[in-house]
Amino acid sequence: LIYMHWMNTMFGYCGPYKYQTPYCEHLRDYLAANLAWMQEQMELYQDQDYWHQLNKGRDIILTRLKGLFQLGGDLEDLEAALNKSDAKRTLGSGSCSALIKLLPGNKELLVSHVTWNTYQSMLRIIKKYTLPFRRSPNGLKVINGQCENMYNNQWMVVDYNKFKPGETDVPSGLLTVLEQLPGLMTWADKSDLLYQSTYWPSYNVPYFGDIFNASGQPDLVKKFGDWFTYSKTPRAQIFKRNHTLVEDLPSMMRLMRYNNFLNDPLSLCSSCEPKPNGENAISARSDLNPANGTYPFGAMHQRQHGGTDMKVTSYEFAKEYMMFAVNGPTWDQVPPFQWSTSPFSNLMHMGHPDLWKFDPILIRWK
């Protein structure tokens, strides 16, 4: 399975058929130096929280870092930093949708995530890591001091130990949100906002003002309009409208797999032709956009890219290490993805089923 996934997603990267000598040599040197530095720090600073935790899980961490699989997000930044000549980052391309939802009466707290990626990446392994971590009261400060300034993102930490079903008092530290850029990191306890609005959405637009401004987002807003804003981008509006429909795990899954772009006015792209766009949904289906359409920027084009899974858990599920998961692009309101009938049938998809039409499965670890 790992071999097939490698062939589908990484084959040809830095050889054997395409080899950009300066970039690939710089990448190799960077990775080797970074790995050696990590190993040195683990040995020298085992008494510090950050390096203690990495040292305890070092076999897993170092094994994964020696391959390229775990560097997918980092490579986006490294290609630019190391001057890869054909680095192509699609403007506006989303990475994920996420939602933290407090149910009516505060009876449950649901957490869900949808990966957005290329369809070639859809061979998946569900993993459970057991790591001997220890708690640190200054965890975010530790992360800030060790930030590598790559795969910059919004990170959400839900501490289910703080959640008390049915209680109205806001528990401090239940939801912590962190956003990062090179040289800049901002975080805050957003538990109060979660209890006030009953939901926290995430959709690849910075929440904190300093991160939003430093990211270059205001320039994109000036050029392309509301699509690049925090509150008016399509996913923000869909989450705001539809989160009230969530009352249990099945309805949460329906929202996280939602894509009704042909009929939903919030999925329209005013400067596109045609105007309905499969990117503008909680679980994108960019493959359904016409190849001969006209679009203002790259993310709106036809691409072999979209929501490729859905995972959801709850307070009660988390106690038993349980979750629901489904693999493949959504097919709730749109046709299921099929390689043989898609515009991308010539792309390598070794080990994939032809038709991606699967129901969620219950994952349970003892």
Range of the domain at 37: 2-81
The whole-number pLDDT of residue 145 equals 62
Local structure of 33: helix, strand or coil: helix
Q: What is the pLDDT of residues 184-211, one digit of tens each?
A: 999 999 999 999 999 999 999 999 999 9
Nearest to 201 by CA among 144, 154, 248, 149: 154
Q: Which of 228, 347, 211 is nearest to 298 (CA)?
A: 228
Given 13, 47, 81, the domain boundary residue is 81
Pairing verdict, β 309-314 and 109-118:
antiparallel
Confidence of residue 254 (pLDDT cuts 50, 70, 90): very high
Q: Are residues 65 and 175 in the same domain?
A: no
Q: Do residue 279 and residue 327 come from a single domain?
A: yes
pLDDT at 67: 57
What percentage of the chain exceeds 70 in pLDDT?
A: 89
Residue 87: inside a domain? no
Residue 88 in domain: no
Write down the H helix ranges in the chain.
Answer: 2-9, 21-44, 49-56, 58-65, 72-81, 139-146, 191-197, 209-214, 217-224, 234-242, 249-256, 315-319
Residues 310 and 261 in one domain: yes
Q: Which residues pair with 181 in a beta bridge?
A: 184
The whole-number pLDDT of residue 85 equals: 78
77 and 123 fall within a common domain: no
Q: What mean pLDDT value characterizes the chain?
A: 90
Domain with 47 in it: what CATH number?
1.10.439.20
pLDDT (average), residues 296-312: 98
Contact 76, 89 (CB under 8 A): yes
Whether 238 is in a domain gets the answer: yes
